[in-house]
A and B are shown apart, each in its own frame.
Chain A
């Protein structure tokens, strides 16, 4: 991720981590990924969500990683955890049955309704770039009660039309979405290196809520593949506090692997 330093003493990645952690306020059972989401969840646990349980699709509930996990299946996730389960149990009993409150997803492409592509760039049968595919993302998008998306924002990733819909978001028709009967309500928050977004209740459309300090609306528009919807009460993302930065720098990523 970015090594570019933003002004006023925090990096772009630190701003993304802090803004994402704040979105987890009060949450309990959270599906974590590696990299930024791991730091986000550990920060949230120490600040706004003290009861947060870290759940990994590899089959771990209540992880207490003693080091930064190198992958989603790192042995440090196992030692000291509450439970290790088979992957069938994790997906069937924890996720599909509705026990997961929040989850992180990302992707190569996102559209204005929060649908995500992690499968291919180009045509499926003759791809320009073959991406990893779904993994657990398709079912996580359907069953986790809240979906948080962390992505760097650019025109090639924030697109008008996805090349492939791997994981469903909002359909653009809220009546249809309510009738789905899924535990998941589609993405609720998107945090980028430029700002934070929610989703409009009437249209299901991604809506810019805040821009990070130093970012202009013109920059956001330049980096979005459609005309972005902007909240009437748009503001600036509150800067990271001294305490948030201290936790990140001294405890969560002291070597600056993900945050520098």
Chain B
């Protein structure tokens, strides 16, 4: 059965006030359009989880959708700071933001534990670091086997909702990604509900021609939203490049709460849907189109 929905309906039905929401994607495939729809629908009291809260979480936290942030690296990648997030952490301005932080490996393994339904996941990290001192969810443990190795364990992270952007998916949610994979697979399997946003909805036959590229199967997917250019200013490998000029502009926009509010009014609240945002970008889109570098082909074999 088709799960294809509009972004507005998917977010309205699947994201609820108070939820833990993960919009994952490591630099690549960050679904800004879903974040904008959450802002537009004025969701509240969310706990936002993400390895690398970047500009989209600065926008969401600046817009007041979240009360808590779970993360492992906080910044505008390659540029600098997230000023709306910093105002809330450093000055409780306009209100406090609860934080819970890990390292990258710790965050990844929280999703792995969540996706595998394990009570915790052991890693060799955090030794002699102050991180466990400020996060009691990171606990030391000795191996029950002979060598008695000391490890640290992290608890499972099971988001209420994970949102993943992909290059393509079928109407039932079988999802294919290429390029950086981040922890999208783990965070989707760990979640109670999953929204897939994609550049293109494709026929089942397209997926079946190349099953090794399927990262998330439809069985864990609740809604499929076809939304080209939904990652801007982030990128989708092979479709469009990162709009680095915007990441640089965000430094200026986010430093001043009024200019941030002005930006949200112009680019989020003032628009009905992402299609209008893409239209508003105008020529800027053309400069982000990469050249072509086709993959080689493999022969899966015909066994009929």
Interface residues of A (CB under 8 A from B): 34-35, 57-60, 70-75, 77-80, 84-88, 91-92, 95-96, 119, 124, 127-139, 142-143, 164-168, 171, 180, 182
CB distance from A54 to the nearest CB of B (A): 14
- A sample of 15 inter-chain contacts (CB < 8 A) reads A57-B104, A59-B180, A73-B27, A73-B180, A84-B179, A86-B185, A91-B105, A119-B130, A132-B73, A138-B131, A139-B125, A166-B131, A167-B129, A168-B128, A182-B127
- With the chains together, A127 CA to B81 CA distance in Å? 14
What residues of chain B lie closer than 8 Å to A168, measured between beta carbons?
Answer: 127-129
CB distance from A45 to the nearest CB of B (A): 21
Which 10 pairs of residues, A with B, have the shortest CB-CB distance? A73-B27, A71-B78, A135-B73, A168-B128, A134-B103, A139-B125, A136-B104, A91-B105, A132-B75, A71-B77
Contact (A135, B179) CB under 8 Å given A71-B27, A75-B241, A91-B108: no
* Contact A165–B129 (Cβ < 8 Å): yes
**New A-B contacts (17) at CB < 8 Å, excluding given A75-B242, A132-B73:** A34-B78, A74-B27, A75-B241, A80-B293, A86-B186, A87-B104, A87-B108, A127-B89, A133-B101, A134-B101, A138-B105, A138-B126, A139-B123, A139-B124, A165-B130, A168-B128, A182-B124
Chain A residue, CB-CB nearest to B104: A136
* Contact A142–B124 (Cβ < 8 Å): yes
What residues of chain B lie closer than 8 Å to A138, measured between beta carbons?
Answer: 103, 105, 125-126, 129, 131
What residues of chain A lie closer than 8 Å to B27, measured between beta carbons?
Answer: 58, 71-74
- With the chains together, A166 CA to B51 CA distance in Å? 16
CB distance from A118 to the nearest CB of B (A): 9
B263 at the interface (CB under 8 A from A): no
Chain B residue, CB-CB nearest to A180: B127
B267 at the interface (CB under 8 A from A): no
B237 at the interface (CB under 8 A from A): yes
User: 1/0 per residue B54-91: CB within 8 Å of A?
Assistant: 00000000000000000111110110000001100110
B154 at the interface (CB under 8 A from A): no
Contact (A137, B103) CB under 8 Å given A71-B27, A73-B27, A87-B26: yes
Q: How large, as a class, is the contact surface on chain B? A: 35 or more
B183 at the interface (CB under 8 A from A): yes
What residues of chain B lie closer than 8 Å to A165, measured between beta carbons?
Answer: 128-130
* Contact B131–A91 (Cβ < 8 Å): no
B229 at the interface (CB under 8 A from A): no
Interface residues of B (CB under 8 A from A): 26-28, 51-52, 71-75, 77-78, 85-86, 89-90, 101-105, 108-109, 112, 123-131, 134, 178-183, 185-186, 235, 237, 241-242, 244, 290, 293
* Contact A166–B74 (Cβ < 8 Å): no
What residues of chain A lie closer than 8 Å to B124, measured between beta carbons?
Answer: 96, 139, 142-143, 182
* Contact B127–A87 (Cβ < 8 Å): no
Chain A residue, CB-CB nearest to B133: A124
- Binding site of B, secondary structure by majority: helix, strand, loop or mixed? loop
- With the chains together, A57 CA to B125 CA distance in Å? 15
Contact of B105 among A35, A119, A133, A139 (CB under 8 A): A139
Contact (A136, B105) CB under 8 Å given A58-B182, A70-B244, A119-B130: yes
- With the chains together, A86 CA to B72 CA distance in Å? 16
CB distance from B34 to the nearest CB of A (A): 19
**Could you say which of A70, A84, A128, A138 has the most chain B C-beta atoms within 10 Å of its C-beta?**
A138
What residues of chain B lie closer than 8 Å to A166, measured between beta carbons?
Answer: 129-131
What residues of chain A lie closer than 8 Å to B71, measured between beta carbons?
Answer: 133
Contact of A164 among B108, B130, B182 (CB under 8 A): B130
* Contact B127–A85 (Cβ < 8 Å): no
- With the chains together, A71 CA to B79 CA distance in Å? 8
What residues of chain A lie closer than 8 Å to B126, measured between beta carbons?
Answer: 138
CB distance from A55 to the nearest CB of B (A): 13
Contact (A58, B86) CB under 8 Å given A70-B242, A167-B129: no
Contact (A84, B101) CB under 8 Å given A119-B130, A133-B73: no
Contact of B26 among A73, A124, A131, A139 (CB under 8 A): A73
What residues of chain B lie closer than 8 Å to A84, measured between beta carbons?
Answer: 178-181
Contact of A74 among B131, B182, B242 (CB under 8 A): B242
What residues of chain B lie closer than 8 Å to A164, measured between beta carbons?
Answer: 130
* Contact A88–B72 (Cβ < 8 Å): no
Chain A residue, CB-CB nearest to B71: A133
What residues of chain A lie closer than 8 Å to B86, measured between beta carbons?
Answer: 129-130
* Contact B104–A60 (Cβ < 8 Å): no
- With the chains together, A133 CA to B77 CA distance in Å? 13
Contact (A88, B108) CB under 8 Å given A75-B290, A128-B90, A132-B73: yes
Chain B residue, CB-CB nearest to A118: B73
* Contact A134–B127 (Cβ < 8 Å): no
CB distance from A173 to the nearest CB of B (A): 11
What residues of chain A lie closer than 8 Å to B75, measured between beta carbons?
Answer: 132
Contact of A87 among B77, B78, B181 (CB under 8 A): B181
Chain B residue, CB-CB nearest to A79: B293
- With the chains together, A57 CA to B51 CA distance in Å? 12
**Could you say which of A75, A119, A131, A166 has the most chain B C-beta atoms within 10 Å of its C-beta?**
A75
What residues of chain A lie closer than 8 Å to B101, measured between beta carbons?
Answer: 119, 133-134
